[in-house]
Structures are given as C-alpha cells and as structure tokens.
Structure 1
C-alpha cells in the first residue's frame, strides 16, 4: 500500500514598507517553510494570509489597512504583523475577525500564530528549505540586515517606538549570512538597518572571531570583511551601504570603495540642510562640515554615488530655510535624491511643533526640489555618455521580430527599486539575469542610462 504524503498547509504573504520589513518577511517565510508550510501565489490557495504592515506614515498605514481589507475579502483567514502591530485596537475596529496581530520583528509570535491557525504538516518530503533561506528578491541580490531599532529620537519619526532601541547582530553571524547568500547565488549584498553607522554601539563594538581573527562589531570592520567575500564563481560582489549617518568614521570606508572592495555608493538620510530645521527635527546640524566631507570623499573616490532623502514642509520651515536647502543641493551635487512632503504621524514629537506649513506650500516646495534634483541628475548622467560601466542584469525582455533582446540593468550607482536603470539594446543570447557585464553608455535622460554590452 502506497502511503499518502501529507499535504503542506499553504501561506500567502503581503509584504509592505521598507527593505528592512522585506527581510523580516523572508525570515518568517524561511522559518515557516522549515516547519513544513508551502507558499501560495494567491489568496484563494492559501490556508492563512500574512500581512506585514508599515506604520511609518499615515499614508503607509492606510495602504496597510487596505491590504488587510483585500486579504480579508479574498481569503478571510489573516494574520497581521509588522510596524502597525502596535495599533491592534485600530486594526480590530476595522477587521474584528483578524486571527492574530503581532508587532515588528516578532518572528516567534508570528510563527506561533500560524501554527495555531493552520497546524504544520511534517515529513521528509516537505521539510526542505533552499540554501540561504527563502527570498522575496531576485536570486542575484539580497538585503543583509545588520541591526534592529534606533537610538535617535528624530522629531518626525516613530521607529524607536515601533522597533525599539538599537540591537546589533553579532558580526560573525552577519558575515556568515553574507557568505551563505553569496554561496546561494547572490551577486550584490545590500547592507540595511535603521542606522548602519551606529552598528555595534550597543555592544561597545565587541570583538568576535571570524576566520581566525578578531573582528569588531563596527561598521568599518564589517565593511572591510564583506569586501573580502566572493560570489559562487569567485567574483567580487557588489556591497552597497544603506542608511548611513555621516559620523566621522564613515570617512574610513571611502578608501575601501576606491580600492574596489565596496560599491562606491552611500545612502545617507540627510533629511534637510537648514540648521534651524535640522534643530527642530532633532538631527545633527553641521551641514558645512558635511559639504567639506562630501568633497573629500569625491577626491578619494571620484566615482562615489551619494543618494539621500529630504523632508519638505516640516513645521517651522520658512521660505528662507527651503531656499537654503536648494542652495545646499547646488553645492552638494548629490547623485540621487528622494523627497517627501511632511506628514504628521501619530506619536511623533513634530506634531506638537508650531507653525505648520500649509499643504499648498508643501506641494509647491516639493515640485521645486524635484525639479532641482532632476536637473542635477540629468547633468550627472549626461556626463557618463561614452563611458564603459559595469552593470548587473536585472531583467531580459523577449526577442523582437529581428531576434534582438533588450534588458534592464543597474550600474554601481543604482540601488534596486529606488534609483535609475541602465536600459540595454541588442543583448547577446549568452547573457543571463544576474550576470555582470561591461556596457558602453550611449545616451541618458533625467534618471536612466542607455547602452549596449561591449564585445
């Protein structure tokens, strides 16, 4: 008699918000897969749907509530986790039949809630997890989260109340995860946290053993060791640093970029430049020294890309403050810039500040900063025409009537999902998604480059 294999319960997942939340979702799904669950591509086929929410802005909360509503309407068996987990009363007031609600990074609670809702099937045929765990990103790039929480108390932010103070992961564990991801096919590691520069502050930068040597729990040591790792085929991986506050020790990673050990890219959340606004935001306000350091970084590593985000319309921001920011951007010449209109967030200290900026003024300032940064970006990209750049292939299109294929790639100046692309023509048949390639740049617009693979 042939023994029937027990059917694995199926889990659906909706992951909202930032890359840090995406890593949380990957960890949850990896644990559930190891517990005998399979994944469902749609609501209808799922025994339980997980919604990993974002609660950073009111608009993000609305998106999360809409996603919960869709999952309830399509499936009805829903577990909510993530940053909105601390607003369980609000969620249950709208959706009283939610099975369970847990907070951000509460992996064990989420898994236990799934076990209660749909007990796992166990067996040798279903307890299989891919090397490196389950991923929600393409095989060739991976997010590497090095810490949780934040020690800053910025007036516009509620992250510490959602995720707590800084808790750094052991450096040997981070390096081991990076090594496993590369062994599983990753070509690009994107280092993320709430504050990458503060890595290890909470553990006094303790040392751990890694491959026979003491390595400090510190951003510079971590960056240097990640630069020593190699891909499965022996290549130098791209290692990209995100959420880097411009502390003095950041200067020490720039030579690693110049030497090719790190991707020459820094994602620095400046948020503003006017000293009075930075003071209201409870942010560091030494913008003159920052400009000098940016110039110094470019002297050491001319190809460095600096991206940042800015908030316009913060309470108390005057026209003079905003013009100061525009002038600062002219001087800083940042490569990639995102901007946000200030939104009050429940629980944020900024809500109590006087002199709110009218919505129509926020819109006008937002349009002006985007026009300014688009012009800077366009000029920088125009200067790359005629150069040969290394790219990584993200997607390849179908062949046209002449048998030619196009592809979407990224240069070292482009992080996935947030920056521009390098759009390629006449891609050879041997080129595959995830490959590195050398590309001649033929044209550019405000955000993207256009080119052809050499040879």
Structure 2
C-alpha cells in the first residue's frame, strides 16, 4: 500500500537587520520546521511570507516597509515580526492587509500567527528538523546569541525601548546549543548580543552545573568554555568594561579568536557625554596598547558616528587623532541619522548634511589608509583562513581570524582547487589592498 503524505504549507522568510535578528529568524524557522512546515525560497510557492523587520534607524524602517510592500505585492499573505513590530499602527496604516504583526523575539506569537494563517495538516511524518535547528547562514559558521536587550540608555539608540533591558541566557543552555552547532559542522561561532560584556549581570553571575563541574554566567567564563569546543570563537558587541582585559589572555592562548568588536561610537569627551556613553577615551587607548602587548595579533573593529548633534570641527579632529593613535584594524562609520523616539533628536547643534558627508569622507579616508598599512604588514606572513566560497577551479575566498563575515575584509586565494567551504587552510599572504588580502595555500 502506498502512503500519500499531505502537502506541508510552505513558509517564505525575509530577514532584515542585524545578526541578532537573523538568529531570531533561525529560531522561528526551526520551530516552524519542527512543526512540519516546508520552506520556500521564493514568493510564488510560499503559502505565507514572514518579514522580520529592523526598526533601529528611520532608514531601516523604510527598508522594512519596502520589504513588506514587496512581499504583499508578490505573495499577498504576509506576517510581520521583529523590531518594527512595536510600531504596528504604522505598518497597519501602510499595509492594512498584513495578516499579523508581532514584536521582537516573540517567537510563540509569530509561530501562532503562522498556524492560523497556514494550518498544518496533521501528519507524524512532517515534523522533521535537524537537531541543530535551521540556519540562514552557511553550514560552517553560526551566530550564537547569549542575551537579549540592553541596560544602556544611549541618547541615539531606541533598542532598549524595543527589546527591553538585559536578559541573559543560562550559560549551560548556551553551551549546549554551541555543542550542537559544532557537531553539525559549525567551525566558527560568532557570539552576539546587545552588550556581550554585560552578559550575566542580570543573573548575578550565578553558576550552573556543566560537564561535572560548574560554569559561571560571565563573559570570561563563557568564552573560556566555548574555546574548548574546537571552533573559532569570535566576540561581537563588546563594551570595554575592565573585565574585558581578562579575555585577552584567552586569545593569546588560542582559546578565543583574537578579535574584538567594540562599538566606541566616538572619542571626543563632549560628544561621548552627549551620547551618554563612557568618556574615558585616554584610558581605552592605554588598554588597547596593553592588549596588543599580551596578544600582538589581536584585531579590533569598531564603528563611529559622525555629525552627531553638537559635534564641532575640533571634536571631529580629536576623533581623527584618536584613530591615528588607536590604529584599529577594521572601522565602519555612520552619518548621524535621527531615530524616532531617540533623545538625541532634541539636542542642540544639528550638523548640516553637507558637513556630515565631508566628515564621513575624511574619516573613511583615514581609516582606509590605516587598514591598508596594517594589511600590507601581513604580506609574507602565513595565516589561517576559513573558506567561505570555492569555485572548484582554483579560486576561493575566505576570511582570516581578523575578519567577521559580511562586515570585514576577505582573503582571496589562487591555486586552491582542493578548497571546500568550511575548510581552514594555512595561507601565505602575497598581496594586500585597503580591505582584502591575497594569497595561496601552503603545506
């Protein structure tokens, strides 16, 4: 007798915003797949489309609204979730035909909305999902979210009003997820949160049983345990609290990838004060120098805002001088953009758009020059490279330990016919430009 299985509804997903939102999308899809739903890579075949929105900047909101509009035009059956879900009235006014709207990390609500919009036919044969969950990233790297929310009240940011205060996950739960990801083929774990350095503060850094011992809910302890799993461990969104110093020896020992993503945002004391951020920039420079003494290969990336209200030419020159001293490896910059609901909108001293553009160009020119010099210094060295793309004909590209996916540079390889996605190769660096390295596998 032939068993005919019912067709499972197909779910499409449009995921916008930061890696934290991407993890939310993965969790939603994992739950839906475990419930038996199929996934669709295009609008046409999907029974319902989920749009995971970003609401951090007004430009991001417009991008989210555009994505919702496209999904409605192409499919017609749309559920909205994510950060902009907190502005349901705005979405409803623009798109009254949206089936449901939920806020950020409201997994149960969005899954429930899918069940209503596209009911699953009962079948014991449809509820299949990999133990590691479904991923929107390549198999060889995974984002590992350790907390939600943030306790900071930066004047330019509305994340706490969207995602709430810090809520840390239990360390044993994080480590179990990490183990599953590594067992499923992950070779690089990218640790993310809104404030990685604050991990465990809300848990009072309590301990939980783990592997016959205990693990503390603290960034340093978590990083040390993750480092035993055999994958690259990359730390993102690290605020330079004093205890970050304790992580640097773990990098020197090889337990943690020598890479720190620190959102400095600015350097001028008056601007940092207006931003409601720590203003001990001189001490930070001292610590950066000390970190490099302990771990010479450490790569530090950061992002900066130009044209913040009240930023003077002297403030901006101070930032440029600070960058010359700090010699950061990777730098991103943003022109200040008012965000609805942010306290910074009411600050005096609005910087004209043309001045923002001019300062942005100068900052990027400065950081590109620094990056080019630092990369040129790697020519002739051998480094480890994780392969992201291989064409099977000798060409391949990947990343060094100094490069996070999507935001940093790449290493482009020749004579790499045997390279496969996820391989970690020893590479001789032959050339460099402002952002990327070029090399050939050795050994």
Pairwise TM-score range, normalised by the shorter structure: over 0.9
Residue 92 of structure 1 deviates from its aligned partner by 0.9
Q: SS in structure 2 opposite 1:20?
A: helix
- Contact 2:11 2:40 (C-alpha < 8 Å) held by counterparts: yes
SS at match of 1:343: coil
Separation in 1 of the partners of 2:291 and 2:424? 26
Tell me if 1:428 matches 2:428.
no
Query: Following the alignment from structure 1 to structure 2, what is the Cα–Cα distance between the partners of residues 126 and 375?
Result: 55
- The aligned counterpart of 2:135 is 135
Q: Which residue of 1 aligns with 2:245?
A: 251
Q: Is the 8 A contact 1:421 1:447 kept in 2?
A: yes
Query: CA contact under 8 A between 1:37 and 1:121: conserved in structure 2?
Result: no
SS in 2 for 1:303: coil
For these two proteins, the number of residue pairs brought into alignment is: 443
Per-residue deviation, residues 22-61 of structure 1 (Å, max 9, x unmatched): 0000000000000110000100000000000000001101
The residue that corresponds to 2:144 in the other structure is: 144
Is 1:359 aligned with 2:359?
no
Q: Mapping of 1:207-218 within 5 angstroms?
A: 207-218=207-218
- Residues 51-450 of structure 1: pairs in structure 2 closer than 5 A: 51-229=51-229, 236-399=230-393, 405-429=394-418, 431-450=419-438
1:96-139 Cα shifts (integer Å, max 9, x gaps): 10000000000000000000000113423321101200000000
- 1:291 Cα deviation after fit: 0.2
Q: Give the C-alpha shift of residue 374 in structure 1.
A: 0.2
Secondary structure in structure 2 of the residue aligned to 1:143: strand
Q: Is the 8 A contact 2:12 2:40 kept in 1?
A: yes
Take 1:121 and 1:43, find their aligned partners in 2: how far apart are those partners?
Answer: 21
Summarize deviations over 1:243-265 as a string: whole Å, max 9, x none: 00000000000000000000000
Structure 2 Cα separation of the partners of residues 318 and 354 of structure 1: 12
Take 2:2 and 2:239, find their aligned partners in 1: how far apart are those partners? 61
Q: 8 Å contact 1:141–1:188 — kept in the other structure?
A: yes
Question: Aligned partners of 1:288, 1:454: CA distance in 2, in Å?
Answer: 41
- Contact 1:143-1:192 within 8 A present in 2 as well: yes
* In structure 1, distance between residues paired with 2:9 and 2:363: 49
Q: Is the 8 A contact 2:395 2:417 kept in 1?
A: no
SS at match of 2:228: coil
Q: For structure 2, which runs of at least 5 residues remain unmatched after alignment?
A: none
CA distance in 2 between partners of 1:454 and 1:25 (Å)? 38
Cα RMSD (Å): 0.7
The superposition leaves residues 138-195 of structure 1 with CA deviations (integer Å, 9 ceiling, x where unpaired) of 0000000000000000000000000000000000000110011000000000000000
CA distance in 1, matches of 2:149, 2:427: 39
Give 2:16's aligned residue: 16
Q: Which moved more, 1:194-203 or 1:1-10?
A: 1-10
The 3-state SS of whatever aligns with 1:44 is coil
> What is the Cα deviation at residue 215 of structure 1?
1.2
Q: Secondary structure of the equivalent of 1:182?
A: helix
Q: CA deviation at 1:203?
A: 1.1
Q: Which secondary structure state, in structure 2, belongs to the residue aligned with residue 227 of structure 1?
A: helix
CA contact (8 A) 2:392 2:417 kept: no
DSSP 3-state at the match of 1:228: helix
| 1:35 and 1:122 in contact (8 A); partners too | no
Measure, in 2, the Cα distance between the counterparts of 1:420 and 1:179. 28
Structure 1: which 5+ runs fail to align? Answer: 230-235, 400-404
Shift of 1:398: 4.8
The CA distance in 1 between the partners of 2:179 and 2:407, in whole Å, is 25
